[in-house]
Amino acid sequence: MKKNQRLRRTTAVAVSAVLGSAGIVAVGTPAAYAATPSDEVVKLPISSYSAIAVDSVHERVFVSDNNRGYYSNTGIVAVYDFQGHKISQWTTETRVSGLALSADSNTLYTGERSRIATYDTTTLQRTGVTSAYEETCGRELAVTGETAWWTTQNANYVSECAEARSDVDGLVGGALTRTGWNAVGRLNLEAAPAGAKRFFMGQEAGPKEADPALASFSTEGDNPVRDAVRRFADGEGKGALQLKDLAVSADGNRVAVADAAYGTRLLNSGDLSDAGTPYQALPEGAKASAVAFGGDGKYVARGAAATGSTADLLIQPADPADGTTPFEFAFEGPLDGNRVVPRGLDWSKDGARLFAVTTNAAGSEYWLHIIQPPAAQYDSRFTGALTTTPTQAVVGEPLGIRGKLELDGPAPAEPVKVTAVRKDADGTQEVAAAKVAADGSFTVLDVPDRLGESTYTLRFLGDVTHRPAEDVTVTLDVAKAPTSIALTAPAEASRAAGVEITGKLSAQGRALPSGVSLKVTRTDRFGTTGELTSATVAADGTFRVKDLPSKRGRTVYAVRYEGDALHEASSAEATVRVIS
């Protein structure tokens, strides 16, 4: 089923294309995509959700239904191919929670109420059952090497799960083993990449655990050995972990934590310390619910619970230092779900597809989204020197900064934009983005409002096919705005009738204040200069000078504007021959 979607860019590149009538809103298309990412959507045949597992060898996606409302409930495992076509579905004898795949993807492990079942991922036939300790609250599974590990949490009632003890058990040498590791409340398990015998365990917050822990375990031997452990609350008890999901990077060096209170934490896997550069905050109002790294190491997906058009899913480079704009999905339609469920994200091993499970506000319906991959990225760069029009920047006067952006690879489907910021004595101010023409040329327009030095930094943050360009800057000295005076005077005038001169004061930049006064002087043929009554300028810039000269002959009238904080001074003269 092809999903209706509406694209809206709110960051570096302005794109507005209606691709359907309702449903998903994708905002902020990053440079990761060679074209608008496709989003195939499947309505899942489940009324609750427990886990997702992606088999990249056989190109199959497994989704399980927890259905833990009653002790005797059965469960569902639904199987889809990478195009969203349903391959199979089976009902488990007891409710099912937790899915995990062997390192070679030949075996699927499913966690049921009192056992762990295995299935052949080619035939989808059950191949074995291992008895397990009874659980009430749902299992988490992880496979390291050839050993499967799972959680067991038993309570008298489901309502007690938040404070019931959870144990970590395993299938060691074919035998059920209780490792001795346990904690209060639900535990999340996440295995390191195939080949690394290690898993990470995160504890969810609950009434008996105000400061949950995150820990790593080595599984080189028959029993897990704890390495690093970390709690997040400060001395006042603030900042405690509100765990929703864990993910380990493809190289095993980073752990990402979906923390509903914090966002997406990025940690060093060795000691669980904070990574040097964090991911940017999720959109305001979005609470982290899921996280997953692409199997090829290039991208990370961050899921969230949000309302309305606020993004529920961000897809971006896994390296937080990469400034490529994330691609954001806002699920807000009745055919899409309203949010990403906890632990509801997984990638194919090659990073070719992201699989996301969403649910409605009530948590009673579920959808599987199959989002097509980020494709090849191409470089971009600013070329040539930046030029300005006019050459001299003037306060209050429109200024054009012209340049050229060069894009490798295919031409963008929609015009891209260059953004800019201006830094002057008043601080930093964003400038309106400029659309880039087909030949790469652009003009950033601004109206500087401060005298002195202004530095403009121009940026291209990437588009649907291109990486961000290295910033370019230009520094200008912003001057006062010029003014000019135009006079209209008679060639001759009599002493009896007097002299009348009209004029207009014009100014660039900001409008002149009302009531400006002009200095007026008269110089007769003997060189005697006298100051006349000042002329007041009307709102349209016009003024009038009247005089009764006392001497005949050549008389020069001079009108001068002294300027102000934002405008230069100017003057003009008119010569009148005074007759008797």
- At the fourth CATH level, the homologous superfamily of domain 483-579 is Immunoglobulins (2.60.40.10)
Edge-first strand listing for the sheet containing 198-203: 187-191, 198-203, 213-218, 225-231
CA–CA gap between residue 341 and residue 306 (Å, rounded): 11
Outline where DSSP puts E strands in 366-471.
366-371, 380-389, 399-407, 417-424, 427-435, 441-446, 452-459
Task: Sort 475 into a burial class: Cβ within 10 Å, 0-12 / 13-18 / 19+.
Answer: exposed
* Nearby residues of 78 by Cβ (< 8 Å), 6 or more positions away: 44, 45, 46, 62, 63, 64, 65, 86, 88, 89
The predicted structure's pLDDT at residue 279: 95
Q: Where are the domains of the chain?
A: 5-371, 380-478, 483-579
Topology of the domain covering 5-371:
Methylamine Dehydrogenase; Chain H (2.130.10)
The predicted structure's pLDDT at residue 510: 87
The predicted structure's pLDDT at residue 219: 94
Q: How do the pLDDT tens digits run along the chain, 580 residues long? A: 333 233 332 222 222 222 222 333 334 333 333 334 567 899 999 999 999 999 999 999 999 998 776 777 899 999 999 999 999 999 998 889 999 999 999 999 999 999 999 999 999 999 999 999 999 899 999 999 989 999 999 888 888 999 999 999 999 888 899 999 999 999 999 999 977 899 999 999 988 899 999 999 999 988 999 999 999 999 888 999 999 999 999 999 999 999 999 999 999 999 999 999 999 999 999 999 999 999 888 899 999 999 888 999 999 889 999 877 788 888 887 888 999 999 999 999 988 899 999 999 889 999 999 997 556 668 899 999 999 999 999 999 999 999 999 999 888 878 899 999 999 999 999 999 999 999 999 999 999 989 999 999 999 988 767 878 999 999 999 999 999 999 999 999 999 999 999 999 999 988 898 889 999 999 999 999 999 999 999 999 999 999 999 899 999 999 999 999 899 999 999 999 999 8
Q: CB of 386 within 8 A of CB of 402?
A: yes
Q: Tell me how long the chain is.
A: 580
Kindly report the pTM of this predicted structure. Answer: 0.66
In this structure, CATH architecture of domain 380-478: Sandwich (2.60)
Residue 360 has, within 13 A of its CA and on its CB side, a CA count of 12
| Integer CA distances (angstroms), 412 to 301, 324, 415, 437, in order | 24, 16, 7, 11
CA–CA gap between residue 337 and residue 277 (Å, rounded): 32
Parallel, antiparallel, or unpaired for β 165-172 and 175-184?
antiparallel
CA–CA gap between residue 15 and residue 413 (Å, rounded): 9
User: Nearest-CA neighbor of 319 among 344, 290, 294?
Assistant: 294
The predicted structure's pLDDT at residue 444: 97
* Nearby residues of 521 by Cβ (< 8 Å), 6 or more positions away: 529, 530, 531, 532, 557, 558, 560
Same fold? 5-371, 380-478: no
CA–CA gap between residue 70 and residue 73 (Å, rounded): 5
CA–CA gap between residue 558 and residue 71 (Å, rounded): 102
The predicted structure's pLDDT at residue 21: 25
